[in-house]
Amino acid sequence: MVPAGADLWPRTSRLLPWSIAAFLAMLFLFPFDSTTVTGAKPDRPLLIGIAALWLLSLALIEGRRRPRLNGTVLHAAFLFFVVMAILSVLLNADTLRLHGELGLGIKKLIVLIFFVSLFAIVASALRPREARNFIPLIVGLGCVAALGAVWEYRTGFNPFYEWGGKFFPGGLDLPSVATEKDATGRIPVLGPTIHPLAAAQLIAMVVPFAIVGAMYAETKQRKIFYFLGTLILLAGVFATQRKTGPLVLAAGILTLIAYKPREMLRMAPAGVVLLLAVPLVAPSALGSVRDQLRPGAATSTLSTRDRTSDYEAIGPEVLNHPAIGRGWQTYDPERYRVLDNEYLSILVGNGWLGVGAFVLVLIAGFAVCTRAIRTDDPARAPPALAAAGAVAMMAVASATFDTIAFAVVPYTLCLFLGLATACAPPRPDGIARAAARLRLTPAPASRSGS
């Protein structure tokens, strides 16, 4: 019999949890989307290696160390989403080939399969108590990314690109957005990503993990660690100077309140103190975002006006392909226009069926998280509760920018959903449910004499 706590990451020799931790570190520490190694982004060979290791584990390992293949409603939702994306490209193949966009559609499909594969691997490779052990790692990596963003905001120096350039000289390209001020004069803060919006979303999705870590902390030292982590993460989000940051933060925190109102109420005073302390770490950043969210400014900015003009511009495309779209992610922003709305991007590329499939993934994500949260198991509930906050953030962020266009965002969400799915209690099979019903059915009264 295996003792409690044995063979669990980080105290394990199993390679799959360590490879997942390495992939997570890449997302927060390395600008992989701006790097090309032998003609490919570094996330692709790394994920292919993890997938090969996962398949070998399924084929060769028996017993508790073998990955579990338990399907959930979220697996089904992801499968439906991928199938709709594939159909949108196949059914429009002739038109896409005529416009020279078939190759783009196939490339984007492959990237989508990478995203979903990461979810499936994490969901089957990790155990519930291992998922709980990933929370300090996630918060620590998020704090490093946030500190880098704050440093970049205050000095203009990006440590992630500097560090990456030393390891891959000539293979790392600084995005053009990094050298351009926007219409309001803001200096772009990229962190380990290719765009300030992606940086804001990446760091913001870690905030629920820091709050949940403090909520379930068993010692005073750990609680202090998570509160300080929350402060650093909030400063990192506001240092990006994007109004998307506080919007997604509000969505994540409201989700935590909906699931755990009493616990969040007890933490409210600490939350107020943390918010007041943000200007000490990132001076003026909070005021910059507040100015953008003023009623007049929020609706008069160029980005907001561009978003409202998109509805009329994509009308003909949607009317021509209402159900299945023109082809997954083939509405190239460099050729047509930047939509700054993932729902609109999916509507154009994948039709109303695609939008429905995407919303279904978000709903299924909440459902899987809820199953784990309701157990109140200290091993299962915390990662699922934090992941539910991240799902809400994705739902809101997708209305403010093209979330799937920045690979770091869907990668991170799929990894977090994998953690939540690993924590979801297994549903009893048909035989087990029948046996349970039989145990609950009272025995018939015996009849005397016949």
Amino acid in the structure at residue 59? A
- For residue 163, the model assigns a pLDDT of 81
Q: Are the CB atoms for 30 and 160 separated by under 8 Å?
A: yes
- Residue 41: CB atoms within 10 A of its CB come to 17
Residue 291 pLDDT more than 80? no
pLDDT in tens, 343-373: 999 999 999 999 999 999 999 999 999 999 9
Residues 6+ apart with CB under 8 A from 370: 259, 384, 388
Q: How far is CA 107 from the centre of its chain?
A: 21
Residues 279-305: what's their mean pLDDT?
A: 55
- For residue 450, the model assigns a pLDDT of 34
What's the pLDDT band for 1 if we cut at 50, 70, 90? very low
pLDDT in tens, 243-272: 888 999 999 999 999 999 999 999 988 888
pTM reported for the whole predicted model: 0.87
Question: What proportion of the chain, given as a percentage, has pLDDT over 70?
Answer: 81
Q: Are the CB atoms for 205 and 390 separated by under 8 Å?
A: yes
- For residue 431, the model assigns a pLDDT of 40
DSSP 112-165: HHHHHHHHHHHHHH--HHHHHHHHHHHHHHHHHHHHHHHHHHHHS--HHHHHHH
- For residue 68, the model assigns a pLDDT of 84
Task: Quote the mean pLDDT of the chain.
Answer: 84
Residue predicted with more confidence, 9 or 430: 9
pLDDT in tens, 293-314: 555 544 445 555 555 566 677 7
pLDDT in tens, 54-99: 999 998 888 888 888 888 999 999 999 999 999 999 999 999 999 8
What's the pLDDT band for 206 if we cut at 50, 70, 90? very high
pLDDT in tens, 9-26: 998 888 999 999 999 999
